[in-house]
Amino acid sequence: MIKKLIVDFFKKIETDEGIDSRNGKAIFFVNSLLEEKHGKFHYISIQKATRIHKKYVENYNEVSANVKDPFLKDVMAEYLGFKDFENYRKSFTIDSNIDEENNLIEGKEGESIGLLAIILKNKIPILIGSILMVSLFVIYKDTLLVNSNCIVWKKDHYKKVPCYYLNSISNATYHIDIDRFKKVTLTKDMEFFTNEKPNYWYGSNKKGKREFFTARGVHPETLKELKPITEHILKSEGFPLL
């Protein structure tokens, strides 16, 4: 179950964040989830996150990277859309029970086909109905729920709104901290880096003009992932570092 959790976790980072490299996914795990979202600085190193990826995703069995910490498992499960790891684990209980039931039936020679047919006949309508209900809920959940997770851009910041608003996007996809995320104009008295870590991100609008923001996220016009500022970018903007 731990391996499946970790594989699902890194796969979602690759899909949702557009990060393909092992190191890039490890940096996102440590910097964006543990540090920025949960305030857990230096909880694990990027190197350890990389080893976790190598061991469980790339099957490097000789790599030592056990994940026994309940908090780390909860963070991964939460990113996958579950309350915690226990909630993630329980989501597979139904499938396990069905497998056990089928195994018991197959153990009875001469009765397996008949009994299995009866069980499937009784369960298929329920399963189909459940699948349809879940599918409809997934499609329309942001519209149906009062506390939807959609946001819309307002001048220099994101605002939480119902998902039927024009130009709204689902923050369940982008995971933007809207309390911190603002568009700003750089000035020379800003602290661009803290302990060598960037305090601002940048991206180009639809006209190709570079714009700056106070947190990780996507550009509100293009929805492309922002990049952290560098000394080179600052120099090109007329802010040479001393």
20-58: pLDDT as tens digits: 899 999 999 999 999 999 898 989 999 999 999 998 999
What per-residue confidence (pLDDT) applies to 61?
84
pTM for this structure?
A: 0.42
What per-residue confidence (pLDDT) applies to 199?
96
What per-residue confidence (pLDDT) applies to 106?
46
pLDDT > 70 fraction of the chain, expressed in percent and rounded: 81
Task: Give tens-digit pLDDT for 110-135.
Answer: 455 566 666 656 666 677 777 877 77
Please state, in angstroms and rounded to a whole number, the distance separating the CA atoms of residues 21 and 14: 8
142 vs 172, more confident? 172
Distances (CA, A) of 72 to 6, 18, 23, 40, 132: 10, 22, 18, 11, 33
Count of beta carbons in the 10 Å neighbourhood of residue 120: 11
Give mean pLDDT, residues 233-239.
92
Pair 192, 239: CB distance under 8 Å: yes
pLDDT over threshold 60, residue 209: yes
Give mean pLDDT, residues 98-104.
49
Task: Give tens-digit pLDDT for 131-153.
Answer: 877 776 666 554 555 457 899 99
Task: Looking at 145-189, list the stretches that DSSP marks H as alpha helix, in order from N- to C-terminal side.
Answer: 171-174
Q: Which of 22, 85, 31 is nearest to 50 (CA)?
A: 22
